[in-house]
């Protein structure tokens, strides 16, 4: 048997040797061009094989997010209170809070409320009692379980005036009690449809904060080294010689109840202002930055692969008419002509590079309660001029209209902010075509607040509003808010509207509230006490490395992190039909 095998192997070896020698002889017998042709054909065959193998692989696999990687974002500003009950006055603080903490409720990518730490909700028939059950398995970054005691402690910390929380006013008429380990009850003095918005505040860990005295609350180390139950946990911060924070490092929280974030490391780098932030982006120090102005966007062509996302927010700008300070503005046809004769799209194009939404009333077109069926004013300069002609407003020698000795001249007070000053100048040019004279009065923000807004001493005021997407217009349009600290800048006074706004904020019936707000918008449209202009888009900038970002609408800039645990910078390919990393670890 051994001899037979040896003979077979020897024979095979001889055959291989003869074949190789024969091939060498044939190859040597070929000419140069024949050899080149054969080698070329071999490489072509290999290339075609590799191409089809790659094509088959791509056709039968799918790209999915993969865990890992780092994302670096730049922020103009400095963090001070990474604390959910103190962060409302700083975008830098609010951004970090959004990643480190979680609340009972949160805003989704569409700007609508959704449960987060909350498992279920029950509301009493009178709309005054909210009972919330918490999810099981939610833990803080130190591994301690989140309970109803932590929620109650957070609310009580907000209500304590010593802590100086900007949220205190929202909670002054709310009582909170713990029903059991996972159940919290909120008692309201009056029903209010927007109460759930208050439950988006991040939950503080009672076991860490309860031993800190109120007089030390603002100075606690946990304000810069926070512990929450959000998707990312604090790791480290680096400072410069002056004590300013240069970078802030967060890591994915492996026990996050919403699913482990794909991006392992989130690093924030801080800059003094927008200009230095953009410089850092162009130097590739960061991969993204947020809330960039239209002027800043114009510089970004220097970095290829830049992706600009437009996110809608309920921020809008308008000219508010004070009919008690201007005889001309008290005429209905003048306010209507201004609304019809102002080219809002031209303002958006010139001021914002087209990145904004035209606005004609208190509800923005992308708000759920916007009454799209009403006849909102559209640009019609010819029609506006005709209306003024028909109502007896005649152009004088200076091409400014007048009626019965009343000149159609308006003093417009404007904050000393470049974008709004430019807006006022555009309005002046447009209104000249209507025969309306406009005097622009620019005031510093402090001076404007003291000597115009609080005193209501202006004929017209160019100013901004920022309600919520699911807004409560009471503060802006109820007659009780006409004076001093109120936000009714048009001094709008309509008894029927007052009743509508009170009824709307106290009903939990969404359909009834929608009907009430439609009637309010119809009443506004009948009087046109203001000239709404535009809502600028929030501009989010990245270098294209981060994916999975799907935010469409938001109330505040920090809400752009909605669903941040699904953002990713790394990918892998899996065979179709197989479960992959997107199902979670």
Q: What is the pTM of this model?
A: 0.87
Q: Is 222 helix (H, G, I), strand (E, B) or coil?
A: helix
- List the one residue out of 416, 418, 453, 460 whose CA is nearest residue 439: 460
365 plus 470 within the same structural domain:
yes
Q: Can you read off the two tokens belonging to residue 89?
A: 């006055």
Residue 321's DSSP bridge partners are 460
Q: How far is CA 287 from CA 94, 121, 246, in A?
A: 20, 39, 16
Residue 213 to residue 163: CA distance in whole angstroms: 10
Is 583 a residue whose pLDDT tops 50?
no
* Domain identity same for 241 and 263: yes
Residue 564 lies inside a defined structural domain of this protein: yes
* 327 and 259 assigned to the same domain: no
Tell me how crowded residue 30 is: count the other CB atoms within 10 A of its CB: 12
Domains contained in the chain, number: 2
* Cβ-proximal residues to 42 (8 Å cutoff; 6+ apart), any chain: none
Does residue 229 sit in the same domain as residue 179? yes
Give Cα 428 to chain centroid, integer Å: 32
360 assigned to some structural domain: yes
Q: What does pLDDT average to over the chain? A: 92
Q: For the domain that residue 177 is a member of, what is the CATH number?
A: 3.40.190.10
In the structure, what pLDDT confidence band is assigned to residue 15 with cuts at 50, 70 and 90? low
Residue 491: closest CA among 246, 320, 263, 359: 320
**Structure confidence by residue, pLDDT tens digits, 243-279:** 999 999 999 999 999 999 999 999 999 999 999 999 9
Residue 33 in any domain: the answer is no
Is 59 part of a structural domain of the chain? no
Q: For residues 568 and 427, state if they share a domain.
A: no
Domain assignment of residue 17, yes or no: no
581: its two tokens: 């990393």
Beta strand 460-465 with 409-415: parallel, antiparallel or unpaired? parallel
Report pLDDT digits (tens) over 382-435: 999 999 999 999 999 999 999 999 999 999 999 999 999 999 999 999 999 999
How far apart CA 215 and CA 201 sit, in angstroms, is: 22
The alpha carbon dihedral of 221, 223, 228, 230 has a sign of negative
Closest CA to 101 of 226, 230, 216: 230
Q: What is the span of the domain harbouring residue 187?
A: 70-311+539-583
pLDDT, mean of residues 362-387: 97
Identify whether residues 236 and 156 lie together within a single domain: yes
Residue 363 gets which letter from DSSP? S
* pLDDT digits 0-9 by tens, 296-344: 998 898 888 899 999 999 999 999 999 999 999 999 999 999 999 999 9
Q: Are residues 214 and 323 in the same domain?
A: no
Pairwise CA distance, residues 402 & 527, whole Å = 21
Does residue 36 form part of some domain? no
144 and 278 part of one domain: yes
Strands in 118-123's sheet, in edge-to-edge order, are 118-123, 129-134, 183-188, 174-180
CATH number at 429 reads: 3.10.105.10
The answer to whether residue 15 sits within a structural domain is no
Domain check: are 436 and 293 in the same one? no
74: Cβ–Cβ under 8 A, 6 or more apart, which residues?
A: 268, 269, 270, 271, 277, 280, 281, 285, 286, 288, 289
Read off the pLDDT of residues 441-462 as tens digits, 9 standing for 90 and up.
999 999 999 999 999 999 999 9
% of the chain residues with pLDDT over 90:
83
Domain-embedded: residue 52: no
**393, 528: one domain:** yes
Query: Are residue 249 and residue 349 in the same domain, yes or no?
Result: no
Q: Are 344 and 461 in the same domain?
A: yes
């Amino acid at each position: 048997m051994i001899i037979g095998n040896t003979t077979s192997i020897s024979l095979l070896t001889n055959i291989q040797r003869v074949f190789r020698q024969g091939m060498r002889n044939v190859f040597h017998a070929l000419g140069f061009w024949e050899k080149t042709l054969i080698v070329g054909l071999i490489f072509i065959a290999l290339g075609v094989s590799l191409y089809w193998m790659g094509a088959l692989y791509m056709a039968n696999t799918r790209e999915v997010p993969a865990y890992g990687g780092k994302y670096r974002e730049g922020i103009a500003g400095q963090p001070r209170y990474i604390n959910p009950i103190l962060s409302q006055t700083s975008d830098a603080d609010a951004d970090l809070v959004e990643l480190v903490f979680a609340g009972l409720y949160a805003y989704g990518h569409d700007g609508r409320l959704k449960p987060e730490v909350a498992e279920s909700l029950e509301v009493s028939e009178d709309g005054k009692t909210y009972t919330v059950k918490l999810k099981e398995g939610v833990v803080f970054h130190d591994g301690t379980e989140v309970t109803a005691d932590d929620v109650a402690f957070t609310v009580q910390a907000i209500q304590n005036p010593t802590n100086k929380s900007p949220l205190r006013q929202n909670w002054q008429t709310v009582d909170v009690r713990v029903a059991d380990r996972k159940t919290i009850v909120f008692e309201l003095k009056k029903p209010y449809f927007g109460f759930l918005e208050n439950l988006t505040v991040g939950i503080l860990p009672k076991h860490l904060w309860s031993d800190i005295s109120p007089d030390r609350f603002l100075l606690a180390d946990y304000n810069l080294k926070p512990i929450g139950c959000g998707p990312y946990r604090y790791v480290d911060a680096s400072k410069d010689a002056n004590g300013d924070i240069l970078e802030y490092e967060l890591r994915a929280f492996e026990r996050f109840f919403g699913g482990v974030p794909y991006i392992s490391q989130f690093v924030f780098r801080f800059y003094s202002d927008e200009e230095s932030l953009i410089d850092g982006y162009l130097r590739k120090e960061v991969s993204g930055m947020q809330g960039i102005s239209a002027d800043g966007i114009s510089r970004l062509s220097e970095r290829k692969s830049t992706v600009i996302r437009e996110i809608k927010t309920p921020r809008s700008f308008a000219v508010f008419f004070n009919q008690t300070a201007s005889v001309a503005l008290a005429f209905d046809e003048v306010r209507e002509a201004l609304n019809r004769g102002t080219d809002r799209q031209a303002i958006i194009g010139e001021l914002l590079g087209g990145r904004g939404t035209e606005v004609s009333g208190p509800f923005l077109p992308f708000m759920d309660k916007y009454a799209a069926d009403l006849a909102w004013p559209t640009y019609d300069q010819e029609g506006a001029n005709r209306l003024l002609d028909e109502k007896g407003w005649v152009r004088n020698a200076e091409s400014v209209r007048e009626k019965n000795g009343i000149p159609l001249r308006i003093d417009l007070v404007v904050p000393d902010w470049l974008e709004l000053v430019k807006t006022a100048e555009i309005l002046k040019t447009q209104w000249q075509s209507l025969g309306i004279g406009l005097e622009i009065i620019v005031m510093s923000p402090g001076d404007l607040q003291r000597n115009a807004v609080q005193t209501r001493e202006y004929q017209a005021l160019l100013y901004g509003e920022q309600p919520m997407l699911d807004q409560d217009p009471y503060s802006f349009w109820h007659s009780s808010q006409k004076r001093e600290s109120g936000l009714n800048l048009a001094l709008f006074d309509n008894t029927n509207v007052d009743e509508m706004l009170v009824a709307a904020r106290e009903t939990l019936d969404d359909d009834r509230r929608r009907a009430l707000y439609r009637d309010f918008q119809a009443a506004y449209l009948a009087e046109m006490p203001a000239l709404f202009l535009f809502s600028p888009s929030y501009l989010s900038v990245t270098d294209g490395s981060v994916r999975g970002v799907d935010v469409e609408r938001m109330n505040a800039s920090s809400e752009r992190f909605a669903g941040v645990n699904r953002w990713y910078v790394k990918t892998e390919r899996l065979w179709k039909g197989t479960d992959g990393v997107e199902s979670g670890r």
